[in-house]
Chain A
Amino acid sequence: MIKVEHLSKSFGNVKAVDDISFEVKEHENLILLGTSGCGKTTTLKMINRLIEPSGGNIFINGQNILQQQPEILRRGIGYVLQNNGLFPHYTVAQNIAIVPQLLKWDKARTEKRIAELLEKLHLTTDYLTAYPAELSGGQQQRVGLARALVADPAVLLMDEPFGALDNVTRSKIHQEFKALDELKRKTIIMVTHDVQEAFELGDHICLMDKGKIVQDDSPAGLLFNPANDFVRGFLQEQRLQLEFKTVRMHELWQWLPALEKEVKPDSLPIETDLWTGLEQFKFAAAETINVRNQQDHEVRSASFEQLMSAFYQYKQQRGV
């Protein structure tokens, strides 16, 4: 879907992005992860040509975007910014309607689409006539997201979209983000410096440093097959939490004991991550949890100790 080849960008003598290549498949979430100044935002902005590359090529659906007219290209790509970039002199409705207006949609179609999006993003229609300054940070970010999604672009670029939010609001929006059906149909490239966020939302992650991609891999790949010490060091601090969140029940399946007791109605699906599984002990105060394989309806159960032991064996198998 999106193919980046030998992309470079220099500002004077500084190479902000240095000959990077990667690919994002359709409906995938790619996270560009790294510290400030690693070139991740520059990379993102070259994809909608807010920044013109010094060298290399970018293809979207096989088309070289450098040969397209920038304005037309951008109208087909959703863009969400950290500070939302809402127009302070436009109402919420007007803000969301900017791209439809540029695309010359008729009024009824625009209104219908806006109403649909607001509902999905849990904003009532009361907000339509409000100005951005009257909204909370989380609400502003939702409107920003609605604005990016309104014309249903196939590609969505997000520049630290949740960076300005407090932790509570952020994790709430993370949940919504993952649940939003609109987003499942998108190919997304998101920039973040937050490792947790990257692991939570990314299908695969490009870890960048000094303008180069150090490792382009799945979250598990980064954790269990780090390319070098930089990758290892980058994840070190939050390693255990990241592992719990990355490892899923189906990966532990073979080490889970068969069902001993009767099936509980609230068994977890097999895609559940270990972190959520462990949380059950805390919230449900149960001795064991049940995990169900949806395909063959087999159910297995495990106690806290059994789960941890399965995790330990899994890690040994991966050789970490």
Chain B
Amino acid sequence: MNEQQQTLWGFMAEQKDKLLEQTIQHIGLTFISLFIAVAIGLPLGIFIARRKQFSGPVLGVAGVLQTIPSIALLGFMIPVLGIGPKPAIAALLLYALLPIIRNTFTGIVGVDAAVKEAATAMGMSKWQVLFKVELPLAMPVIFAGVRTATVITVGVATLASYIAAGGLGEFIFGGISLNNTNMILAGAIPAALLAIVFDFLLSRLQKLNIKKLKIATASLPLLLILLSSFYFLPSAYATKLKAGFTPEFMGRHDGNLGLQSKYGLKISTVVISDAVMYKAAYEKQLDVISGYSTDGRLKAYNLVVLDDDKKIFPPYYAAPIVRESSLKKFALLEKILNLLADKINDSVMTALNYKTDYLHQSPEKVAKDFLVDKGLWKPARNGNNGLVRIGSKIFGEQYILANMYSMLIKGNSDYGVATKTGLGGTKICFDALTNDAIDFYPEYTGTGLLAILQPSLKTVDSLTSSKEATYNYVKKGFHEKYNIAWLKPIGFNNAYALMIREKQAKDLKIKTISDLKRYLESK
């Protein structure tokens, strides 16, 4: 199987059931949130139009909500609402509130004072003035607000997949972490189309003349309810334990697919972001999660790794991968980077990660403390002899490694250093490297094998039981295909792992993945 040669159409046809389900979830998620946002925002907008002293605070709060980064907002929701559609809808509706409240307020305040006065003078009550005059006349402006809110919501709803609420984000984020362009596009194109289509339809609604506007106003709530009903909870067969896997893990042969084929593990599963997964396990929203064996949060949230007794997770030994042209350009680079070889084992890496993830020390401090401790730290030299560009993926461990390399280079050579940390997932980081935007970044043997080289399943099977075989294979493959060199491994193996809460593991006597399977199948 070679996924790189599969066309986008091929992928979409193959995944059409999943694509349809995700699209429907996406629409449903968008419009449930929008419906609730209208139900809250419209009365609130009317209220502040009546009592203007409240308009400042209300619009201010709604504005502040809008500025909270979406992933952070989703994170805040988990302790309160758990994972799944509830927190996703709550977060989405908070984003949709501002345009709806603001436009309702502006629309009503903007109604011609003479018309309002005439309505009152003819003997209409306050409510009659509101429903017969103010709202109908403000409707085009309110529609514009709903339109803005819709487009925002369609976009932000892709993030719902971070907290197991489904939607097109599953493909997008799965594709990014799997280095699968077709998968990204299969999620991104429908999401963009949805935004364009809804924006267009609402723009038509907004431009309707007065006569038809009445019909449109009446039909809008109905339409919202109808579209909201599209959403059904991510369907899954219920088992005794609930698993949350990252989109990447879901799509990998050394992930969920392997669990199913090699272990025959059947567990109800939701797709969730790595960022909130550990916390959700700790909060007992999830029981089994797919994590990384050196993750600091393992320690922070009292989770234990289940032993992979059938060896389906290939080794993920970390090593810097460097452009061969950069090694020539910076003669000292290889020697300096290899200073870290075999210096960090699994438990040391977990402890370092724990310091950043849980104790909230800066990656810089953690890196320096470690180097000083190992006697590797030297004060920075002048750094005026060329510029080495270090990349890193967007998680703590890579930040720490990037910082260590940066300090080592500055201390042992005259090279300058630019760090480009936070380059998203594998795909973004690796593309940056091949396109000469960075000189090196720390990569994992398993990722190099499965996400980048993507050999046949048979080859993978023959390699993954051995650490050395995998390393040698990727080293050779990268050199031949990309002119990129794998330097010596740093020592730790940040492999995939299934993990559960320590207490639960003890209570249920689960130590290996096979134990887990037996427990799930017992009655």
Contact = CB atoms under 8 A, between A and B. Distances in A.
A285 B204 CA distance: 64
Given A85-B121, A89-B137, 7 more contacts: A48-B121, A73-B123, A81-B117, A84-B118, A89-B214, A98-B124, A102-B123
Given A87-B133, A89-B213, A74 B115 contact: no
A68 B121 CA distance: 14
A86 B118 contact: yes
A83 B118 CA distance: 10
Contacts of B210: 88-89, 131
Interface in B96-125: 112, 114-115, 117-125
A71 B121 contact: no
A81 B121 CA distance: 10
A162 interface: no
Interface in B163-215: 210, 213-214
B115 A50 contact: no
B120 A50 contact: yes
A74 B123 contact: yes
A89 B115 CA distance: 11
Most chain A beta-carbon contacts within 10 A, residue among B118, B122, B125, B214: B122
Nearest to A148: B122
13 contacts: A50-B117, A50-B121, A72-B123, A81-B117, A84-B118, A85-B112, A85-B117, A86-B115, A87-B115, A87-B132, A89-B136, A99-B123, A102-B124
Contacts of B112: 83, 85, 88
Contact of A81 (B118, B123, B124, B128): B118
A73 B123 CA distance: 7
A165 to B, nearest CB: 15
Interface in A59-106: 71-77, 79, 81-89, 98-99, 102
Interface in B214-228: 214
Given A83-B114, A131-B210, A88 B123 contact: no
A147 interface: yes
B214 to A, nearest CB: 8
B139 to A, nearest CB: 9
Contacts of A71: 123-125
A48 B125 CA distance: 14
Interface residues of A, number: 25
B117 A99 contact: no
A89 to B, nearest CB: 5
A195 to B, nearest CB: 24
A42 to B, nearest CB: 13
Interface of A: 48, 50, 71-77, 79, 81-89, 98-99, 102, 131, 147, 157
Interface in B477-497: none
Nearest to A82: B114
Contacts of B132: 87
Contact of B122 (A82, A88, A98, A131): A98
A77 B122 CA distance: 8
Contacts of B115: 85-88
A72 B124 CA distance: 9
Contacts of B123: 71-76, 99, 102
Contact of B118 (A73, A75, A79, A102): A79
A88 B119 CA distance: 12
B121 A79 contact: yes
A230 B133 CA distance: 43
A74 B136 contact: no
Interface string B6-25: 00000000000000000000
Contacts of A81: 114, 117-118, 121
A75 B137 contact: no
Contacts of A79: 118, 121-122
A131 B118 CA distance: 16
B140 to A, nearest CB: 10
A137 B512 CA distance: 86
B213 A99 contact: no
Nearest to A75: B123
A311 to B, nearest CB: 43
A50 B115 CA distance: 13
Nearest to B128: A102
Contacts of B117: 50, 81, 85
A259 B132 CA distance: 64
A78 to B, nearest CB: 9
Interface in B122-158: 122-125, 128, 132-133, 136-137
Nearest to A95: B118
A288 B5 CA distance: 109
A83 B112 CA distance: 10
A88 B214 CA distance: 13
Contacts of A48: 121
Nearest to B133: A87
Contacts of B128: 102
Nearest to A83: B114
A131 B209 CA distance: 11
A145 to B, nearest CB: 12
A147 B120 contact: no
A291 to B, nearest CB: 43
Nearest to B121: A79
Given A71-B123, A71-B125, A88 B118 contact: no
Given A81-B114, A131-B210, A87 B119 contact: yes
Most chain B beta-carbon contacts within 10 A, residue among A50, A84, A87: A87
A191 to B, nearest CB: 13
Contacts of B114: 81-85
Nearest to A131: B210
Contacts of B120: 50, 74
B46 to A, nearest CB: 18
A147 B118 CA distance: 10
Nearest to A85: B118
Contacts of A77: 121
